[in-house]
Structures are given as structure tokens and as C-alpha cells.
Amino acid sequence: MSESIQTDVCIVGGGPAGAMLGLLLAQQSPLNVLVLERNQAFQREFRGESISQGSVAILDELGILDGLRQQGFLQIEGLSMFDEDQRIFSVNFHDFQAKHKFIIDLPQPILIGAILDKAQTLPNFSLRMGAACTGLVEEQEQITGVVYRDASGESITVSASVVVDASGRYTKIREMAGIQADIQTFSRDAVWFRVPRPSDWELHTRIKVNGQHHLIILPTYPDQLRVGINIAKGQYQKVKQEPIETFHDQVCKLEPLLDGIVQQHIRSWKDTVLLDIFTANVPQWSRDGLVLIGDSAHTVSPILGQGVNLAIQDAYVLATVIANYLQAHPKAIIPKSAFAAFEESRRELVNFVQAFQADQEKGLMAATEEGMIERRIKMSTLDQSPMKVQLAMKLAFGIFSAEPVQASHGG
């Protein structure tokens, strides 16, 4: 007979959204929380490594930041954008009036490991690795649990008051629940690679634009740069037929400071990886017994590295909603209506982020001389605007510069 498990909250996916929600819930309530993660380990090659200031504040509040600091991370002190080598926009994070001024950069497995290590000290938290959710259990239009396959291939049924889909940008749970997403592709994808960081490199996110081409350069822990260059949508296989030297030339034309470094360290296309850029707008984030968070609810563009930030802050807001509901209605299936305020408040921020990113995307991909002039004027005007720091802080801090839905997390 196959195993079955009873819990209060079943979270599918142990990424930043799922791990953070699991910790918060287990810490602030007596609820039993189960996180299912299909991978056996958290080694991910290329994932969000820049953690925005608002999420850094949450890590501090939860007592995780000091441990991460001891392990080591980079502090990113600003962002600069150059058009044909002329600096047209910059933000210096030292100007933020806040305790946590800087983005931190660290490998995602370390971040998730720190969150889960803390969660696993709590008796009401459990994590199953190698547990791939394969189906939802539905009774009278309510989601009442999931079925997952463990590492030995056995199917296990979990019953819960709520299933949280935190399974990321390629979620299958959303589809299983009959929720359709509006997937929008952009006209570009990005090819990413890593190279060693010169010791005198400014600790700023650096965007270099020239005509229709751009490079995003992210200082990365411990001593690297993560670099992304745009290519036309869906053309990675075709681009890879060119000699790697053509790629070196394109990169160095955009950032001459990488000349010599890129040739030495990017020996073949195998040293690069594709980021398929798309956004998902999901009209409905919940059903009775189910709620979506993180990339599953809203995949955003990589511009300004907002994905992890949104995921962590979704978890922060949702934890209180779930804990309060189940405290008032123990063991009940959480109805969709209980998630309305959560969804409304988070959507407002996600819409703001997506609108800002779409505008930036349009500028970066300008294909005409007029469009490129408009891009330069727009960014230079924004650079001079008295609202610049305020706008940057809204993107950096998310919920802490807007109204949180509910009260606080004691920690």
C-alpha cells in the first residue's frame, strides 16, 4: 500500500519562495509544514544570486544574515548604465536612507541552505528532497493535497489544508490546477557566462548598451563576474554555429575591459548558458486549497534581478495570511477568498516591476535610431530626476516601501 501523509501546509518547490515560506510558517505558528523538492540537492548552475535590499532586510529579521555574512557575500553598491561608453544613468546605493543599503550577491544554494538549515531546527518543519510532485488531489473542486514520487519511485499522497505552488517558472502544478498563464516572450534571449573579476572592478551592476546590443555585468561572489549578452529570441543554436571568437568580439566591443579575460576563460560555447527570457502573467493565483507564489505566479524579466526578491517577499506576506487563517479555522481547507488581499497587494508590486521592466526592455531593444535617441534621453532625464532615489528604493525594497497586507513576523 502506498504511503500517505497528513500535514497542514504542503509547499511544492524548495526554491527561495518555498524555502522561505516553510521557515516563516514553521517559526511563527504551530502548523505542520512540509516542503517537497524534486531535486536531490540544491546545486543550481545559474540562478538568481543578487538579493535585493528588501529581502536582505527579511534575512536580517530572521537572523540569517549574520551567518551568511560569515560564509561570505558581495555587497553591490550601485548600478550604472552606459550608452556607447557614456554613463547615462547611475544609482549609488550609499544614497539610500535605510539600514540595508546594498544588494548582496551569493550563490543560491548557500542562501537556500541557510534558510532550510534554520527551518530544520523546528520540530513542525519537514523537507523531502527527491520528491517530485506529480499530481493534485481534488475533491469537490477543492485542492486537498498532492501526490509525489519519491527517489525510489514510490507514489506518496499528502493531504493538507493548503497546497502552495512554489515550483518556479516551469511549474506544472499551475496547469494541473487548470490555471492558464499568459506567457509573453521578448524579442531577445540572453547568453550568460562567468569570468574572473579584475581586483579593481567597481562593485556596481553595469549595463553597457551599444545600438541593438547590450551586456549586463554582475559582480558575483566570491571573485567573478556574471555576464549576459542579448541575442535574438530563439537563436542560441544558430548563434552557436559561429566561431567562439565572434562571440568574444561582440562582448569586447560592448565592454573593452573584458578584452583578454573573455578569450582566456570562455574557450567554447560550452562555457555559456542560455537564459530563455519570458514573462508569465497569471490571472488567478489561487483556488480553494491552493495558492501560487514566486515565479509560478509571476515570472518576470531578469532586468534588475527582481525574481528572488519578489519570491521571498511573497512568502513573507503569505505566511501571515496562512497562519492567521488556520489559527481561526484549524484543519479547514483554505478558501480562495482568504488569499484575495494577499493577491491584490502583491499584484500591485508585481505590476509595477513588470511595467518598469517592459519599459527598460523596450529601450534596450530599440531597433531604430529614433528609438535609441529616445532611450538615451529617457535614461539621462531619469538620472537627473529628483525622484530617482525614491524609484530605485521602491524597486529595491518592495513591500517595505509599500503597505504590507498584514502585521509583522515576530521571528
Ligand X SMILES: Cc1cc2nc3c(=O)[nH]c(=O)nc-3n(C[C@H](O)[C@H](O)[C@H](O)COP(=O)(O)OP(=O)(O)OC[C@H]3O[C@@H](n4cnc5c(N)ncnc54)[C@H](O)[C@@H]3O)c2cc1C
Q: What is the binding site for ligand X (CB under 6 A)?
A: 12-18, 36-39, 46-50, 132-133, 166-169, 172, 192, 275, 294-295, 302, 305-309, 311
The cell numbers describing 31, all together, are: 502548523
If you search the block for the grid coordinates 567573478, which residue do you land on?
224
Which residue's CB is nearer to ligand X, number 298 or number 372?
298
Which residue's CB is nearer to ligand X, number 295 or number 361?
295
Which residue's CB is nearer to ligand X, number 129 or number 366?
129
How far is it, in rounded angstroms, from Cα 327 to Cα 350?
A: 28
Nearest C-alpha neighbor of 38 from the set 145, 166, 174, 180:
166
Report in angstroms how near the CB of residue 65 gets to ligand X at its nearest. 17
How far is it, in rounded angstroms, from Cα 341 to Cα 291?
A: 13
Report in angstroms how near the CB of residue 274 gets to ligand X at its nearest. 9
Element (H, E) at 282: none
Which residue's CB is nearer to ligand X, number 15 or number 145?
15
Report in angstroms how near the CB of residue 377 gets to ligand X at its nearest. 28
Element (H, E) at 4: strand 4-6
Which residue's CB is nearer to ligand X, number 167 or number 224?
167
Which residue's CB is nearer to ligand X, number 250 or number 309?
309
199: number of Cβ within 10 Å:
6
Helix-strand-coil split of the chain, %, nearest 5: 40, 25, 35
Report in angstroms how near the CB of residue 334 gets to ligand X at its nearest. 20
Which residue's CB is nearer to ligand X, number 161 or number 306?
306
In contact, 36 and 11? CB cutoff 8 Å: yes
If you search the block for the grid coordinates 503597505, which residue do you land on?
403
Nearest C-alpha neighbor of 34 from the set 114, 142, 143, 129:
129
Question: What is the per-residue DSSP string for 324-379?
Answer: HHHHHSTTPPPPGGGGHHHHHHHHHHHHHHHHHHHHHHHHHT--SHHHHHHHHHHH
121: number of Cβ within 10 Å:
10
Which residue's CB is nearer to ligand X, number 18 or number 78?
18
Q: Rounded to the nearest 5 degrees, what angle is found at the Cα of 306, between the Cα atoms of 102 and 170?
A: 145
Which residue's CB is nearer to ligand X, number 48 or number 289?
48
Report in angstroms how near the CB of residue 36 gets to ligand X at its nearest. 5
Which residue's CB is nearer to ligand X, number 165 or number 255?
165
Report in angstroms how near the CB of residue 37 gets to ligand X at its nearest. 5
Report in angstroms how near the CB of residue 56 gets to ligand X at its nearest. 12
Report in angstroms how near the CB of residue 146 gets to ligand X at its nearest. 8
The cell numbers describing 25, all together, are: 510558517
Strand order in the sheet with 74-76: 50-51, 103-105, 74-76
In contact, 227 and 235? CB cutoff 8 Å: no
Element (H, E) at 275: strand 273-275
Report in angstroms how near the CB of residue 268 gets to ligand X at its nearest. 19
Question: What is the per-residue DSSP string for 197-235?
Answer: PPTT--SEEEEEEETTEEEEEEEETTTEEEEEEEEETT-
Report in angstroms how near the CB of residue 6 gets to ligand X at its nearest. 19
